Amino acid sequence: MPSRTTRALAIGCVVFACLGLSGCGLTPPPVPDAVSSSSPGNEAGNALPARTTEAVAPAGFTDYERAALRVRNVGCGQVSSGSGFAISDHVFVTNRHVIGGAALLQVSTYDGHDIEVAATGAVVIADLALVWTKEALPATIPLARENPGVGTNVTVVGFPLGGPLTTTHGKVLGYAPDPVGWSVLPMLVNDAPIEHGSSGSPVINDSGQLVGVAYAIDGSKYAVPVEILRQVLSNPSSYSRSAACDGAL
């Protein structure tokens, strides 16, 4: 569980008339082989930088912005919001604490299109979750083959405070123990501004590849490194459990 000075980023909800996702007994389908490794929040009181315009798609959004998803969780007596991102046509990644205790999940795309959820899987070894959708997602983010080095430029795309799509920038500062205490593996530390609702946001390198998944603030900003996500994707037993309201298993 988080300490008083460490918090998993606040989560939120987008609701569909779907399944009782927590404890519904669904077995997540296998992750498609299409997950690729090829190239293509902000602290309170700080202004968020404007959305980036590099490598802009015809619709005016980058591929990684089009892959970003707003995730809202209705359950445990409240509504909370977080973020996520697609890694294949029908699978996206978010945080375990984002889907924890969900009675209903709502998911929407960068342009406000609603996506219906088919199944969820909480990850055992870190604050990650996989979500399967009934319809195709608009874009995907390829996974980097290895964790980024110190000093690597990173971009974070998500929906802080449940608000509009926001893109911020920073650098990898290093690796440190998981401040939430859910993993024994080193976590990626960076300084890209994030805020409540940024949980599950993709952390992307300059090549447009995923290098981490944002999940916590403890002074510094923490992300689950891409090598841990790759480990999860290669081992279905790592994401077969549901999570409680606080994300605990």
Model confidence over 55-104: pLDDT tens digits?
Answer: 444 468 999 999 999 999 999 999 999 999 999 999 999 999 999 999 99
40 burial class (0-12, 13-18, 19+ CB within 10 angstroms)?
middle
Confidence band for 241, pLDDT divided at 50, 70 and 90: confident
Over 90: is that where the pLDDT of 18 sits?
no
Domain limits of the chain?
A: 153-229
Report yes or no: 206 and 171 within 8 Å, Cβ to Cβ: no
Question: Mean pLDDT throughout 228-246?
Answer: 90
- The two three-digit tokens of residue 245, written as one number: 């309201």
Global pTM reads 0.81
* The pLDDT value given to residue 59: 64
Category of 34 on φ-ψ map: left (φ > 0), alpha (ψ -120 to 50) or beta: alpha
What architecture is domain 153-229? Answer: Beta Barrel (2.40)
